[in-house]
Amino acid sequence: MASTEEEEKPYKRKALEKIDKTDSDLMNFTESKVLEKKFGQERLKDFKFCNLSHLYYYHYSCESVNDNNWGCAWRNLQSALRFQLSLNNQKKDISFYNLFMQYGSKKTLMEIYNKLCKKENKEEILNLLSSKEFAPFENSNGWAEPFISQLVLYENGFEGDLILVNDYPKRSYAPKEVFDKTINFNGFKEILKQHFSQENPAPIILDDSISSIGLIGIEIKEEKISLMIMDPHSTIVPEKGLYIITLDENGGFIQIEPEGKVLASSAIFFNKNKPWMVYIPKTK
């Protein structure tokens, strides 16, 4: 359990404003047919999606937790972990409160990383982590970057790749050394093609160290790629957080569907050497 000093931090008090609603209130993509209703079958016919029957949409303020402006990465973590558990016929308490309390401390996260890491410079990275305020109980926002998602999913029996696209975001809490590799946008597109062509692909977590978003499907036509975004920054109308971003061959923004700036959409581009942290879960 967290110490009294930790509980006094503002983000911690918000996390403890717990809980009237349960997972049953969350929107399942297959049951709700939300994508078909919003975009139409014709627009979706060339998309490759993760297995939508196992995908639930976690977003700001669900479970009656006041996480506006700081909980987006936790919500993507919940969606990713629920997907894997559902796919493998498992059930666990993955409420915001439980995940935050169970995986918020540096000690716990470093113990998991010690089991996960197979790098030759493992001891060097562990020493670096011990000197960094990367853990949600320590960092100033209570955030859970993709590195935290990797650790939590690993501890629950699911592996994945942690990569950088273009470069390392300078505002990140996790050190650069924990990432597996750095690739450019073309390399990232190839990874996306492979990922969404496999059986039961999982949702991917994208994070630019300011906003965290979920990627649940892609469409590739000639040199352009369209990304189906599951944006956790939505509150009252969750469907507002579902939109399509189309990028050119360099990762530059072309258009958003439906038209108009919404939530984190203006930040989704990969040209201009914009750095991203990415967690790509593997499915069993």
Question: What is the reported pTM?
Answer: 0.92
The CA–CA distances, whole Å, from 129 to 24, 82, 109, 164, 249 equal 37, 27, 10, 18, 36
Comparison of pLDDT for 284 and 224, the residue scoring more:
224
Residue 48 backbone dihedrals phi, psi, to 5 degrees: -110, 125
Confidence of residue 9 (pLDDT cuts 50, 70, 90): low
Condensed to tens digits (0 to 9), the pLDDT of residues 64-111 reads 788 888 999 999 999 999 999 999 999 999 998 889 989 999 999 999
- At 10-26, the pLDDT tens digits run 555 555 555 444 444 67
Taking residue 253's Cβ as centre, other Cβ atoms within 10 Å add up to 16
The SS3 assignment for 106 reads: helix
C-alpha torsion 217→117→152→90, nearest 10: 80
| Cβ count within 10 A of residue 150 | 28
Give the helix/strand (H/E) hosting 206: strand 204-207
Angstrom distance (rounded) from CA 39 to CA 179: 35
Q: Residue 254 has which token pair?
A: 């072309």
| pLDDT value of residue 15 | 53
